[in-house]
């Protein structure tokens, strides 16, 4: 070690190592900035990603659910809170015959008390294979055969071992495939056709599980999904649905998405403002600290000058110190943000109540590179004032008069 050349970078490293208190303070400051920057960017990226997926998944233009269950529908989709609610199956045909309806299908929701796979309750979604247009298109992406009776397709957050069966209400069901993540509550759902759902319902009934309403899957459904004719006025269609069916809630999925998108933009704006404020605050603080500490280090710089260091070398040492502090702070901040954001991303998505899906590795790496760049640059930028001052002042020669 003692034979390593003592160039500016090495001197800077020895300086910051030896002045630990100052270094730790500065590193923590940059780390806070990097934490907000990295964590915020991943969060916003996750929300954007989730929204995009949700758009792709919601095949229906209009969803009809029992009255006052609108919030429950959003809860299922956005927060992954299982619920069940029902109305009569005959309503489906009434909707199908309305003008402007291109496709119409129904779904049946069931909530399991507990399943071996999961810590929490599971949302079971039954669909009608003949009429379904909302679930099967993306099941087809991961499973190219018809889903048989007794088989299920599971969301990405349902954890089972390879080749294992899903055990629900004491019965085992074949897992045909696992869906890609969406970042929505649908990741915690299990899909099956109506026949399978009927089987599950019977088993649940035997186990003594009671539901909010007495509902029998032969005559009841939980939601009617509608795709409108191209070009048909949706508002008009919603009006006629309301007229035809009493006691239902009509949800326009476009509305739900744009509401979510609006919320998301608000969060993003808030995070950008926060990051901007942090950058400003960090620059001012770093600038002050570098200038003030450089004042206290006049003697040190005078000694370096007396040994033949050029003004440029002095600035170089100071700038290297700040670059090293910037890199250390940037890495520390990104690491702590990663420790919070990655393991808890499901929880964060739940708390946000919005579709949240981690960005891909490429996007994360891009954010990391940007974050490290900003962190490594912000410190030397702030040290510039101090560097220029120490390289121009001659006043540092008046220190400590002889006794």
Partner 1 sequence: MTLEIKGLGRVFVQGDKKNWAVQDVNLSIPQGKFISVIGRSGSGKSTLLNLIAGLLEPTVGDIFLNGRSIHGLSDRQASGIRNREIGYIMQGRSVLNNLTVFDNVRLPFYFSGREGDVTERTRTLLEQVGLSRYEQVYPAKLSGGELRRVAIARALVNQPGVLLADEPTSNLDGENTEEIMYLFRQIADRGTTVLMVTHELDTLQYGDEVYRMEAGRLTV
Comparing CB distances to Mg ion, the nearer of 162 and 401 is 401
Task: Tell which phi-psi region holds residue 119, choosing left (phi > 0), alpha (psi between -120 and 50) or beta.
Answer: alpha
* Contact between 399 and ligand ADP per CB under 6 A: no
Q: How many CA atoms lie within 13 A of 101 on its CB side?
A: 23
CB of residue 297 to Mg ion, shortest distance in Å:
20
Piece of 98-106, 126-134, 217-225, 395-403 that binds Mg ion (CB under 5 A): 395-403
Distances (CA, A) of 362 to 359, 365, 366, 368, 369: 8, 5, 6, 10, 11
Within 8 A by CB and 6+ apart from 362, the residues are none
CB of residue 402 to Mg ion, shortest distance in Å:
4
Q: Which of 398, 399, 400, 403 binds ligand ADP (CB under 6 A)?
A: 398
CB burial of residue 298 (10 Å; 0-12, 13-18, 19+): middle
Comparing CB distances to ligand ADP, the nearer of 119 and 401 is 401
Which tokens hold the place of 358? 């981690």
Q: x/- site string to Mg ion, residues 369 to 388, per CB under 5 A?
A: --------------------
Piece of 80-88, 90-98, 331-339, 394-402 that binds Mg ion (CB under 5 A): 394-402
Q: x/- site string to ligand ADP, residues 63 to 102, per CB under 6 A?
A: ----------------------------------------
Please name the residue ranges forming H helices in 58-98: 70-74, 90-96
CB of residue 296 to partner 1, shortest distance in Å:
12
CB of residue 259 to partner 1, shortest distance in Å:
58
CB burial of residue 194 (10 Å; 0-12, 13-18, 19+): buried
Which tokens hold the place of 37? 């920057």
Within 8 A by CB and 6+ apart from 279, the residues are 33, 37, 374, 378
* Contact between 402 and Mg ion per CB under 5 A: yes
399 binds, among ligand ADP, partner 1, Mg ion, none (CB under 5 to 8 A by kind): partner 1
Count of residues engaged in binding ligand ADP, rule: CB under 6 A? 5
How far is 138 from 120, CA to CA, in rounded Å?
25
CB of residue 6 to Mg ion, shortest distance in Å:
28
How far is 196 from 111, CA to CA, in rounded Å?
14
395 binds, among ligand ADP, Mg ion, partner 1, none (CB under 5 to 8 A by kind): ligand ADP
* Contact between 401 and ligand ADP per CB under 6 A: yes
* DSSP for residue 395: G
Which tokens hold the place of 217? 């899957």
Comparing CB distances to partner 1, the nearer of 4 and 243 is 4
Comparing CB distances to ligand ADP, the nearer of 362 and 402 is 402
21 binds, among ligand ADP, partner 1, Mg ion, none (CB under 5 to 8 A by kind): none
Which tokens hold the place of 237? 């269609």
Q: x/- site string to ligand ADP, residues 357 to 396, per CB under 6 A?
A: --------------------------------------x-
Comparing CB distances to Mg ion, the nearer of 362 and 402 is 402
Comparing CB distances to partner 1, the nearer of 18 and 243 is 18
Residue from 190, 195, 185 nearest 175 by CA: 190
CB of residue 311 to ligand ADP, shortest distance in Å:
16
Comparing CB distances to ligand ADP, the nearer of 130 and 401 is 401
Within 8 A by CB and 6+ apart from 390, the residues are 294, 297, 298, 301, 314, 315, 318, 396
- Identify any residues that bridge with 223 across adjacent strands, giving them in sequence order: 107
How far is 96 from 75, CA to CA, in rounded Å?
26
Contact positions vs partner 1 (CB under 8 A)? 2-3, 5-7, 11, 14-15, 17-19, 300, 302-313, 394, 397, 399-403
Distances (CA, A) of 216 to 65, 86, 375: 16, 9, 60
- The residue ranges that bind ligand ADP (CB under 6 A) are 395, 397-398, 401-402
Interface with Mg ion by CB under 5 A: which residues?
Answer: 402
């Amino acid at each position: 070690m003692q034979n390593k050349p003592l160039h500016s970078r090495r001197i800077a490293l020895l300086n910051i190592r030896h002045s630990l208190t100052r270094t730790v303070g500065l590193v923590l400051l940059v780390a806070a900035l990097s934490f907000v920057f990295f964590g915020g960017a991943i969060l916003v990226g996750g929300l954007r990603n989730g929204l995009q997926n949700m758009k792709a998944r919601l095949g229906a233009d209009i969803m009809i659910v029992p009255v006052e269950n609108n919030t429950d529908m959003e809860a299922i989709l956005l927060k992954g809170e299982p619920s069940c609610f029902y109305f009569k199956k005959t309503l489906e045909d009434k909707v199908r015959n309305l003008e402007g309806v291109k496709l119409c299908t129904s779904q049946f929701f069931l909530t399991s008390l507990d399943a071996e796979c999961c810590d929490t309750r599971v949302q079971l979604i039954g669909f009608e294979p003949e009429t379904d247009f909302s679930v099967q298109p993306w099941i087809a992406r991961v499973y190219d055969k018809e889903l048989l009776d007794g088989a299920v397709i599971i969301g990405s957050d349902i954890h089972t071992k390879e080749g294992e069966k899903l055990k629900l209400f004491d019965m085992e069901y074949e897992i045909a495939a696992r869906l890609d993540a969406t970042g929505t509550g649908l990741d915690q759902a299990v899909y099956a056709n109506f026949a399978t759902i009927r089987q599950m319902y019977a088993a649940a009934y035997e186990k003594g599980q009671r539901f909010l309403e007495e509902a029998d899957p032969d005559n009841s459904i939980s939601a009617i999904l509608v795709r409108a004719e191209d070009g048909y006025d949706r508002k008009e269609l919603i009006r006629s649905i309301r007229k035809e069916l009493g006691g239902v809630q009509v949800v326009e999925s476009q509305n739900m998405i744009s509401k979510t998108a609006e919320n998301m933009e608000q969060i993003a704006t808030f995070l950008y403002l926060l990051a901007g404020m942090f950058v400003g605050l960090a620059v001012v603080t770093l600038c002050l600290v570098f200038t003030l500490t450089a004042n206290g280090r006049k003697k040190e710089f005078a000694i370096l000058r007396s040994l033949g260091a050029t003004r440029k070398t002095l600035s170089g040492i100071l700038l290297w110190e700040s670059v090293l502090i910037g890199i250390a702070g940037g890495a520390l901040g990104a690491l702590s943000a990663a420790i919070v954001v990655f393991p808890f991303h499901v929880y964060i998505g739940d708390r946000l109540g919005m579709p949240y899906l981690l960005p891909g590795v490429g996007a994360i790496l891009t954010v990391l590179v940007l974050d490290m760049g900003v962190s490594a640059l912000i410190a030397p930028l702030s040290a510039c004032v101090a560097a220029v001052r120490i390289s121009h002042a001659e006043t540092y020669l008046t220190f400590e008069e002889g006794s």
